[in-house]
Amino acid sequence: MRKITVLLLAGLFLTGCGNAALRDGVYEGRSGADDAGAWAEVSITIAQGQIQACEFITRQKDGTIKGEDYGKINGEISNRDYYDKAQLAVAAMKKYNDEYLKAGNLDDVEAVSGATNSYNQFLEAVDEALEAARK
């Protein structure tokens, strides 16, 4: 009897964990805007119930993607500290994306110091996309 109880509990635990309930397809998620009006978008591809690809970008208030020019003013680096911090956030986007794909679990994605807004937006956008994949 004890063995059966343990097996039943293990089965319940395993069915409640992981991404087994995810439907195949491409799912989009978007975070809310931060204090500066910037937001994040994610696109997740799921095949055979597993996450195969994830694309994460953040956008400035005007909708432009935060990329290699993020932090420049009129195309120039006029404030090195501001530019370096902005580029730290850009690098963090790739790190969050790569860590998530490697681990397959949001709990294993660590925040980058100085890029906490991007981290929170990533979590929010992925959560929204995965919620759609579970429906």
The confidence band for 105, taking pLDDT boundaries of 50, 70 and 90, is: confident
Average pLDDT estimate for 51-68 = 95
Residue 12: both structure tokens together:
């319940």
Q: How far apart are CA 21 and CA 50, in angstroms?
A: 9
For each of the domains in the chain, give its residue range(s) and CATH number, in order of start: 22-134 (3.90.1010.20)
**H helix or E strand, kind and range, residue 128:** helix 116-134
Query: Which residue is it, tokens 């420049």?
Result: 72
| pLDDT surpassing 60 at residue 19 | no
CB-based contacts of 97, cutoff 8 Å, min separation 6: 54, 55, 56, 122
Q: What is the DSSP string of 91-114?
A: HHHHHHHHHHHHHS-GGGPPPPTT
Looking at residue 124, its pLDDT comes to 97
> What was the pLDDT predicted at 135?
87
More confident site: 77 or 19? 77
Average pLDDT along the chain:
86
Longest dimension (CA), the chain: 73
Specify whether the CB–CB gap between 28 and 43 falls below 8 A: yes
Write the pLDDT tens digit of every residue in 20-47. 489 999 999 999 999 999 999 999 999 9
- pLDDT of residue 58 exceeding 50: yes
Cβ atoms of 24 and 48 within 8 Å: the answer is yes
Predicted confidence at residue 15, as pLDDT, reads 35
